[in-house]
Structure 1
Amino acid sequence: MFFILSAVLGLLAVQSAANPLPRANRVVLDSATFTGSTAGRVTKFLGIPYAQPPTGDRRFRLPVPIPPYTGTVQATAFGSACPQQSARLPLPDGLASDVVDLIVNTAYKAVFPDNEDCLSINVVVPSSATPTSKLPVAVWIFGGGFELGSPSLYDGGLIVERSIQLGEPVIYVSMNYRVSAFGFLASQEVKDAGVGNLGLQDQREALRWIQKYISSFGGDPTKVTIWGESAGAISVALHMVANNGNHEGLFRGAFMQSGSPIPVGDVSHGQTYYDAIVAETGCSGASDTLACLRSVPYSTLKTAADHTPFIFDYQSLALAWLPRADGVFLTDNPQKLVQAGKVANVPFVTGDCDDEGTLFSLANLNVTTTSQVRTYIKTFFMPQSTNAELDHMLNHYPLDLIQGSPFGTGILNALSPQFKRLAAFQGDAVFQAPRRFFLQQRSGKQNTWAFLSKRFKVAPFLGSFHASDILNVYFGGELGDYLINFVNKLDPNGQGRGINWPKYTTSSPNLVTFNDNLLFPVTITQDTFRKDAINFLTGVTLANPL
Structure 2
Amino acid sequence: MFSKTRLLLWLAATPLHFIHAIPEVQLGSTVLIGSTFADQEFFGGIPYAEAPVGQLRFSRPLPKAFLNVTTFDATNFGLPCLQIGLPLEATSEDCLTINVLRPAGLSSTAQIPVMFWIYGGGYSAGASSMFNGTQIVAQSVKRLTPVIYVNFNYRLGPLGFPGGVEAARRDALNLGIRDTILALEWVQKNIHLFGGDPSKVTVFGESAGAGVVQCLYFNSHLETLARATIMQSGAGMFANLHNASISNALWQNFTAAVPDCAAVANTQETFECLRSADASSILAAFTATAISPVGLIVLEWNVIVDGPDGVLPDLPSKLMASGKYARVPFIAGTNLDEGTIFTPQDLNSTSQILEIIFLASEPSAAVVTAADEILQLYPDVPALGSPFGTGNATFGLSSQYKRASAIVDDFFFQAGRRLFTQAAARDKLLAHAYLLTDPSALPSPSTAARSANGSLGVSHGSDVPLIYGEASGLDQSTNPLHALMTDYWISFAVSMSPNDAHGTSRPTWDPYTSQDETVLQIHTANTTLIPDNYRATSISFLNANPVIFRR
TM-score normalised by the chain length of structure 1:
0.90
Q: Does 1:472 pair with 2:466?
A: yes
Distance in 2 separating the partners of 1:539 and 1:365: 30
CA contact (8 A) 2:361 2:548 kept: no
* Residue number in structure 2 paired with 1:301: 282
TM superposition shift of 1:248: 5.3
Deviations along 1:34-84, whole A, 9 cap, x unmatched? 011111221000100110000001000000110223310110111010011
Deviations along 1:148-185, whole A, 9 cap, x unmatched? 01111111121111100010000000000001111011
Q: Does 1:393 pair with 2:405?
A: no
Bigger drift between 372-381 and 300-309 goes to 372-381
CA contact (8 A) 1:10 1:152 kept: no
**Amino acid corresponding to residue 399 of structure 2 in structure 1:** P
CA contact (8 A) 1:50 1:66 kept: yes
- Residue in structure 2 matching 1:420, options 396, 402, 413: 402
Bigger drift between 369-378 and 20-29 goes to 369-378
CA contact (8 A) 1:13 1:155 kept: no
Deviations along 1:477-518, whole A, 9 cap, x unmatched? 21111111111111111122221111111221221111243x
* Residue number in structure 2 paired with 1:247: 222
The 1:9/1:116 distance shift into structure 2, 3 A limit, reads: closer
* Residue number in structure 2 paired with 1:345: 327
Distance in 1 separating the partners of 2:123 and 2:483: 26
SS in 2 for 1:173: strand
* Residue number in structure 1 paired with 2:444: none
CA contact (8 A) 1:310 1:316 kept: no
* Residue number in structure 1 paired with 2:387: 406
* Residue number in structure 2 paired with 1:290: 271
The 1:377/1:188 distance shift into structure 2, 3 A limit, reads: same
**Amino acid corresponding to residue 485 of structure 1 in structure 2:** S
Bigger drift between 286-295 and 163-172 goes to 286-295
Q: Does 1:531 pair with 2:533?
A: no
TM superposition shift of 1:30: 0.4
Bigger drift between 399-408 and 384-393 goes to 384-393
* Residue number in structure 2 paired with 1:56: 54
% identity of equivalent residues = 35
Bigger drift between 19-28 and 373-382 goes to 373-382
The 1:302/1:13 distance shift into structure 2, 3 A limit, reads: closer
SS in 2 for 1:273: helix
Distance in 1 separating the partners of 2:491 and 2:150: 17
Q: 1:452-463 maps to which residues of 2 (within 5 A)? A: 452-456=435-439, 459=451, 460-463=454-457
TM superposition shift of 1:250: 0.7
* Residue number in structure 1 paired with 2:115: 138
The 1:316/1:132 distance shift into structure 2, 3 A limit, reads: closer
SS in 2 for 1:158: helix
SS in 2 for 1:394: helix
**Amino acid corresponding to residue 433 of structure 2 in structure 1:** A
Distance in 2 separating the partners of 1:353 and 1:248: 28
Q: Does 1:334 pair with 2:316?
A: yes
The 1:434/1:10 distance shift into structure 2, 3 A limit, reads: farther
TM superposition shift of 1:14: 7.3
CA contact (8 A) 2:160 2:176 kept: yes
Q: 1:494-505 maps to which residues of 2 (within 5 A)? A: 494=500, 495-497=502-504, 498-505=506-513
Distance in 1 separating the partners of 2:174 and 2:196: 28
The 1:10/1:493 distance shift into structure 2, 3 A limit, reads: farther
Distance in 2 separating the partners of 1:332 and 1:324: 9
Distance in 1 separating the partners of 2:409 and 2:114: 31
TM-score normalised by the chain length of structure 2:
0.89
- Show structure 2 runs of 5+ residues with no match: 442-450, 470-481
CA contact (8 A) 1:277 1:304 kept: yes
CA contact (8 A) 1:324 1:333 kept: no
**Amino acid corresponding to residue 504 of structure 1 in structure 2:** Y
SS in 2 for 1:251: coil
**Amino acid corresponding to residue 488 of structure 1 in structure 2:** V
The 1:499/1:350 distance shift into structure 2, 3 A limit, reads: same
Distance in 1 separating the partners of 2:7 and 2:135: 11
CA contact (8 A) 2:435 2:522 kept: yes
- Residue in structure 2 matching 1:513, options 498, 508, 521: 521
**Amino acid corresponding to residue 530 of structure 1 in structure 2:** R
* Residue number in structure 2 paired with 1:168: 145
SS in 1 for 2:386: coil
**Amino acid corresponding to residue 236 of structure 2 in structure 1:** P
CA contact (8 A) 2:34 2:43 kept: yes
The 1:27/1:387 distance shift into structure 2, 3 A limit, reads: closer
CA contact (8 A) 1:13 1:154 kept: no
**Amino acid corresponding to residue 536 of structure 2 in structure 1:** K
**Amino acid corresponding to residue 226 of structure 2 in structure 1:** F
Deviations along 1:420-456, whole A, 9 cap, x unmatched? 1111111111111000000001104210001110123
The 1:16/1:128 distance shift into structure 2, 3 A limit, reads: farther
Deviations along 1:355-404, whole A, 9 cap, x unmatched? 0000111xx34432223322442243351235432221101111111111
Distance in 2 separating the partners of 1:397 and 1:164: 47
Distance in 1 separating the partners of 2:248 and 2:266: 16
When the two structures are aligned, how many residues end up with a matched partner?
514
Q: Does 1:73 pair with 2:72?
A: yes
Distance in 2 separating the partners of 1:167 and 1:288: 57
Q: Please tell me the root mean square deviation across aligned C-alpha atoms, in Å.
A: 2.1
* Residue number in structure 2 paired with 1:485: 491
Bigger drift between 149-158 and 385-394 goes to 385-394
**Amino acid corresponding to residue 331 of structure 2 in structure 1:** V
* Residue number in structure 2 paired with 1:91: none
TM superposition shift of 1:333: 1.2
SS in 1 for 2:503: coil
Q: Does 1:261 pair with 2:240?
A: no
SS in 2 for 1:239: helix
**Amino acid corresponding to residue 528 of structure 2 in structure 1:** T
Distance in 2 separating the partners of 1:365 and 1:418: 9
Distance in 2 separating the partners of 1:486 and 1:265: 33
SS in 1 for 2:216: helix
* Residue number in structure 2 paired with 1:446: 429
CA contact (8 A) 1:318 1:381 kept: no
Q: Does 1:432 pair with 2:414?
A: yes
